Structures are given as structure tokens and as C-alpha cells.
Amino acid sequence: MSICGERVEKNYRVIGLERRFEGATRSSFEKMTMDRQGQDIDEFISFVNLKDPVLIGHSLGSSVIMSYLSQFGDEKIASAIFVDQTPKMLNDSTWDAGVPGINEESISKILKTPILPLHKRPKLKVLWSLFSTMVLKEKSIASVKEKMPLYKDYLKGDWRKSLHQVSKPALFIGTEYSPFWPSRHAEICADLVQNGEFKIMEKVSHGAHMEDTTQFVSIVRAWIDQHGQ
């Protein structure tokens, strides 16, 4: 949300949570689990005293929200938005909306040769923001190798049962050209929750919010107008 947050802040308060192990956030490397990431959201909501926030997560950030919901329920939030993330990444006989051909052993190889998350080039302003943040001012204290335990835990996650318990409105945003999983996962996920909806963003890939901020913000604003507090 930091890239297009200014376009939402005109009407809403936008808080971009810097998760532990990202940016300059320091933490013991002994807590690299999705459970701990979910607990961080609960502690943050309480610390800032947020009232009925709309949680928005992209990719692993969506799984962090799912982890939070599985541990603490949805009582404290107004609704949630999940951007291009399936609740179960490993396919099996019960699930085929994950990453094709991936398993626990292959995650290290995949992270060493990451897939380009973009289908079309973002606007120059967004490109500069990415370049400035990720290259010129790169400040992450944990490398991909050091964060491998977290990524492996993320890979093994299965939050389908916890989604069944969500009663607050939930929006699943799929992308037409995601390189990781079929866009139909958004519709499948919407059926897992009591008040689920889905949208498929057109002509974008995994980095949807960066590739087409106008389309993304339009979806988010319409959702918050309807399901915010």
C-alpha cells in the first residue's frame, strides 16, 4: 500500500506496517514463523489502539493476515483484502490452486532464481519508488538466506480451515497473469468465507498494485467505502 497509499489517504488513514525482518525492523532470528508474524498484527492493533481496521495484504502479507485470523479471529477488524495469495501453496489431492510443481525441497532453488512479478512496466513514479527503496536506500537487516525458515513456514501454510471461521467481509483479488497460481484461486477463496467476494485485476501480474495503481486503488476504495467503519 505504500506505493499507492497517497491516493487512498485523501479519505482514509493508511498505515504501512513494516514486518519484522524487513527494512530496519530488528528482531531475533529465532522467531521466523508465520504464527509470530500473525501475532505481530494483533500486538500492533492493540498498541496503536486501532478500531475496526481494514487489513490489506499482498502475497506473503496476505498469509500473515490469514495467520492472524487463524489465531485471533476477526472480532477486531472491519474486513480484509487479500491480494494475489492462495491460502495453501502446496497442491495435493484436495487442492489445485497452489503453485504448480512446488514442494518443500524446491523453495530454496526458487528463491535463488526469483520469478519476475510484473506483466507490464509500472509508471515512472512507481519505478523510481521501487528503485529508491530497494536499491539506493536498501536497508533490510535480514538476507533472503537468513529469512529462509520464514519462507519455508510460509510455503507449508494451510489457512483454509481458518478462513471458514471468518465472518467479516473478505475480498480476494486475483490477477490475470500471476506467474505463481491460477487467477481462479480468488473465486475459490471467496467461497471459503461466509462473506467473501473476489475481483480479478486485468492485464497485471503478481505486482498488481504497482503495475496498475489506478485499477487497484479503485477496487480498494470501493471496498472500503462499502465495508469500512
Per DSSP, the residues of the chain read: -TTTGGGTTTTS-------TTSTT----GGG-SHHHHHHHHHHHHHHHT--S-EEEEETHHHHHHHHHHHHH-STT-SEEEEES--SB-S-BTTB-SS-TT--TTTHHHHHHSPPP--SSPPPHHHHHHHHIIIIIT---SS-TTTTHHHHHHHHH-B-HHHHHT--S-EEEEEETT-SSS-TTHHHHHHTTSTTEEEEEETT--TTHHHH-HHHHHHHHHHHHHHH--
Percent of the chain with pLDDT over 90: 52
Q: Is 100 exposed, middle or buried (0-12, 13-18, 19+ CB in 10 A)?
A: exposed
Give bridge partners of residue 174 from the DSSP assignment: 200
How far apart (Å, rounded) are the C-alpha atoms in residues 145 and 148? 5
Taking only the tens place, the pLDDT of each residue in 186-213 is: 999 999 999 999 999 999 989 888 889 9
Q: Do 190 and 170 touch, CB atoms closer than 8 A?
A: yes
Model pTM score: 0.85
What pLDDT score does 221 carry?
93
Whether 119 shows a pLDDT value over 60: the answer reads: no
What pLDDT score does 29 carry?
75
What pLDDT score does 147 carry?
84
Q: Do 25 and 19 touch, CB atoms closer than 8 A?
A: yes
How far apart (Å, rounded) are the C-alpha atoms in residues 43 and 2? 21
Among the listed residues 190, 191, 193, the one whose alpha carbon sits nearest the alpha carbon of residue 166: 193
Taking only the tens place, the pLDDT of each residue in 149-180 is: 898 899 999 999 999 999 999 999 999 989 88
What pLDDT score does 43 carry?
96
Among the listed residues 195, 161, 214, 221, the one whose alpha carbon sits nearest the alpha carbon of residue 3: 214
